[in-house]
Chains A and B, each alone.
Chain A
Amino acid sequence: MGSTNSTLLKIPNVEVLMQETGFSPAHIIRLHDRFKALDKEGRGHLCPHDFGAIKELAMNPIGDRIIGAFFSPGKETVDFHTFVKILAHFRPVDKDRPKEPNSPEPINSRSNKLKFAFQLYDQDKDGKISRDELLQVLRAMLGMQVTDEQLESIADRTIQEADLDRDDTISFEEFRKSLEKINIDHKMSIRFLR
């Protein structure tokens, strides 16, 4: 246990981190090990190509977008705190957490999980998924056999279904509403991050 504590101490502001994210010390250490493994040059922060070196991500159709989600607009590096905070989105929801009225919503709440997913679509961060952005995602996720016309028709249909205020874009509220039947807690949680 001594080594665990000493590793924890090496991470700056680890208490705050644990508080904000809800990760246990064991998890923080595990994520720290992983962070160090990804950061092959030991710079203390990660760049896009560190993520790019993860081979499995290259086989994920939206892998590059997800990598992008780690980097705040304008920044090219991810430090450990940001890394952990983003991953905290994927913690399973704590069902027994008491609802304190004034505390901020935890990072892994259903709403925040949805926001993370929304961001992947909404690349220009204007709070709405435009038809073009949807087309891009569809293109990435569908095989090469699908023609552009087919793609556009799918995109149109999708927007039609979800767009309630008829502005031809999907806002976050519409997004959330259209997915209310889906068990987000289950679909956007990684069990071993509990």
Chain B
Amino acid sequence: SKLSSVFSLSLSLYPVIELNHHVISVVPESGLLIILGFILGGIVWGADKAQTFKLLPPTFFYYLLPQIILDASYFMPNKLFFSNLGSILIYAIFGTCWNAATVGLSLWGCYEAGVMGNLDIGLLQFLLFGSLIAAVDPVAVIAVFEEVHVNEVLFILVFGESLLNDGVTVVLYNVFDAFVALGGPRIDAEEIFKGIFSFVVVAFGGSFLGVVFAVLLSLLTRCTKHIQIIEAGFVFVVGYLAYLTADMLSLSAILSVTFCGICCQKYVNANMDEKSVTTVRHAMKVLANGSETMIFVFLGITAIDTEIWVWNTGFILLTLLFVFIYRIIGVFLLTWMLNKFRLVPIEVIDQVVMSYGGLRGAVAYGLAAMLDKDKIPEKNLIISTTLIVVYFTVILQGITMKPLVQWLKVKRAAHADLKLIEKLNNRAFDHILSAVEDICGRIGDNWWTRGWNRFEENYISWLLMKPKARKNRDYLFSIFHKLNLEDAVNYVSEGERQGSLAFIRSDEVANVDFKKQFGSEFTDVMPDIMVDMSNYELGIENFSVTSIVKDTIPSVSLDIHGKDRKNVADDINAHHLLQQHLYRSRKNHRHKFSRSHFSINQSEDEVQEIFQRTMRSRLESFKSAKMGVNPAKKITKHHKKDLTHKMANGHPDGTDHLYGDEEVEGLSMFLSCLIEAGIENPVFLPAMDSPTHSSLPWLMETDAVAPSQRAQWRLLWTPNRLRRLAPMRVSTCSTDSFLMADLEEHEEKPQTDHEEEM
């Protein structure tokens, strides 16, 4: 009940802090929470004259930490993580060992030199202290880096390191703990060897266990079609189970949960019903945020306790100094070595941020609090020092991190007043560079990654993903599906009105969450579509432009009001426009992980917008090319996998290209599969510019003009078309006329469970 009262108290004060955004942008939330903890602790101490609220290690390790790690791993950008895994491991393993060794040894050296006065402490205990203070803390890192937007590689390096170094920390801690228990003289090579061996077991064992649980979880969600309501719970239960099991077996629990989350996300997201996915995400964020809040508040409260404070100036100051310095040295050394092997070297600025971002947090405190007072008489000193280090890093380094980053960036950018053409070209060069990097296969499109992708696609997904989810993995498929959903929905609603379609639309049709369903590689690109059916009040008679041009693609913001703005050709204005609206390239920081947001952020909107435009222009140029080609090919059904190759791509400005037969067939197959699965004609794309009444394009039987959306509507409802469509199989399809002609010779395709798919 004490726990719950602190919990409620701190959570209720949380929004107060949130309200003051100005404060938040200067002091990171975590810092404020610690200060809040100080206040609360003061209140409690004032009342009880003793600190009755303490952060007990079991509470922390079993009730507060697991969900934070699960949250971090569940939302981990996998591609980024695995492509930098080598570097992350180097930092996590060698970096942490380096930190532990150097800090421990230096402190011992200083002790021997007499700087710290009289303490009942020995080399082994110094090393033990070193090992617990060495680890960079994931909770603190997330909390601080959330405010500071750094580039994604840098973020993943620090973040990944903070997650993976638990393996090392746990081992070192346990090894030195055991050594301390044994006593100095009994340590020999055998013991040291056992220590190293235990590292291997703990780290790999923990990771492996995590993977096992990820498999278990994926299989579970694969089979939960009929109990969708409790699907979401499995994620948390199995995640927690992974943590506990690993802990029970004395393996690294954090690693276990980390790998469980990382490995399962793809399959779980694919298998679960979209409502469950949303539930899981929201719940996960709630739990993680709540736990983080509590942790920091408790860290503050714990300070207000006269019992634990032992002040030894030398020890504390030296610890702070060494922790800081050795982190910097360690990072620079390791990066220097890594840059020899990395494809994209890590820059000096990033290294500075990385060293500065080596924050210690609650994990260190938890480990310190778990020390045995009998074996380690100076436990209180250690706890005090740990707390001070935590406060220093979280509050001070947290506050100064953002200004530091900005100062560094500003220093680098040397922003003279650039002319428009320079600004434009700067951005163009960024895009060009990104594109060429992608063409070159910057990640190393080597045998290993390709082999793994093939293996994963064929075997692992077969095992762990629902067959339906597997079928829907084709990303291109899904983009067009999404682009045309509104058309489908419009068509359906109109059809119902007209009574020309003999089926009943279910509500499910509109609420497909593409992000979940198709986002195997493009989780950030797939938008959430929630089409509000009530928006469609269309009768054949009263077509109004706005009802169609209405912003039904949530992510593409067609600013209708913008057209009314009469802008004077102002120099400042043009610069401002460029500043605001130039699409950002990969270099310009697309922050991918956030504690409090998982929904689409602005840069993801941009990405979607770009993607849609590219796809549209490709399709349109394909279409214009196809006009001249006789579509007499028989459309046969092909396995989806082949389709990824046979995607048509348009030459940028619609210059003539002669599409070989194979490509026409490829696209026909592609289009037919879209239709077959109940997807609409991709030709039905919303027009980019506002449709015009005047030319009545629908009356022209030739599709010389890419029909505007309105026109395409009309196309359907001329009496001829209606009749043609009626005998077609019952579906939500709107079909293109010339493809229709082909399909008539083709036998009735089985109506796949497209209703369920939608």
Chain A interface residues toward B at CB < 8 A: 31, 33-34, 37-38, 40-41, 48-49, 51-68, 71, 76, 87, 90, 117, 120, 123, 136-138, 140-147, 149-150, 153-154, 156-158, 161-162, 178-179, 181-182, 184, 187-188, 190-193
A76 vs B657: C-alpha distance when bound (angstroms): 8
A156 to chain B: which residues have CB within 8 Å?
A: 569
> Are B573 and A153 in contact (CB-based, < 8 A)?
yes
Q: A49-B649, A141-B424, A154-B420 are in contact. List 7 more A-B contacts (CB 8 A).
A: A37-B445, A55-B522, A64-B649, A161-B420, A178-B419, A181-B418, A190-B433
Confirm or deny: B618 has a beta carbon within 8 angstroms of a beta carbon on chain A.
Answer: yes
B423, closest chain A residue (CB): A158
Interface size, chain B (Cβ < 8 Å): 78
> Are A158 and B521 in contact (CB-based, < 8 A)?
no
Confirm or deny: B613 has a beta carbon within 8 angstroms of a beta carbon on chain A.
Answer: yes
Quote the shortest CB–CB distance from B289 to chain A (angstroms): 30
B658, closest chain A residue (CB): A76
A59 vs B427: C-alpha distance when bound (angstroms): 15
B567 to chain A: which residues have CB within 8 Å?
A: 147, 149-150, 153
A63 to chain B: which residues have CB within 8 Å?
A: 431, 435, 614
> Are B422 and A182 in contact (CB-based, < 8 A)?
yes
> Are B433 and A188 in contact (CB-based, < 8 A)?
yes
Q: Mark B580-615, 1 if CB is under 8 A from A, else 0.
A: 011101000000000000000000001101110111
Surface stretch bound by A, among B127-135, B436-444, B698-706: B436-444
Q: Mark B708-751, 1 if CB is under 8 A from A, else 0.
A: 00000000000000000000000000000000000000000000
B447, closest chain A residue (CB): A33
A157 vs B421: C-alpha distance when bound (angstroms): 9
Confirm or deny: B334 has a beta carbon within 8 angstroms of a beta carbon on chain A.
Answer: no
> Are B609 and A143 in contact (CB-based, < 8 A)?
yes
A150 to chain B: which residues have CB within 8 Å?
A: 565, 567, 573, 577
Q: Mark B350-365, 1 if CB is under 8 A from A, else 0.
A: 0000000000000000
> Are A55 and B431 in contact (CB-based, < 8 A)?
no
A113 vs B644: C-alpha distance when bound (angstroms): 33
Confirm or deny: B317 has a beta carbon within 8 angstroms of a beta carbon on chain A.
Answer: no
Confirm or deny: B105 has a beta carbon within 8 angstroms of a beta carbon on chain A.
Answer: no
Residue among A38, A117, A157 facing the most chain B CB atoms (10 A cut-off): A157
> Are A54 and B422 in contact (CB-based, < 8 A)?
no
A40 to chain B: which residues have CB within 8 Å?
A: 645
Given contacts A58-B614, A59-B525, contact A33 B446 (CB under 8 A): yes
> Are B439 and A153 in contact (CB-based, < 8 A)?
no
Residue among B425, B442, B582 facing the most chain A CB atoms (10 A cut-off): B425
Given contacts A161-B419, A192-B344, contact A59 B610 (CB under 8 A): yes
CB < 8 Å neighbour of B649 from A52, A154, A182: A52
> Are A192 and B343 in contact (CB-based, < 8 A)?
yes
> Are A58 and B615 in contact (CB-based, < 8 A)?
yes
CB < 8 Å neighbour of B578 from A51, A55, A154, A187: A154
A187 vs B422: C-alpha distance when bound (angstroms): 12
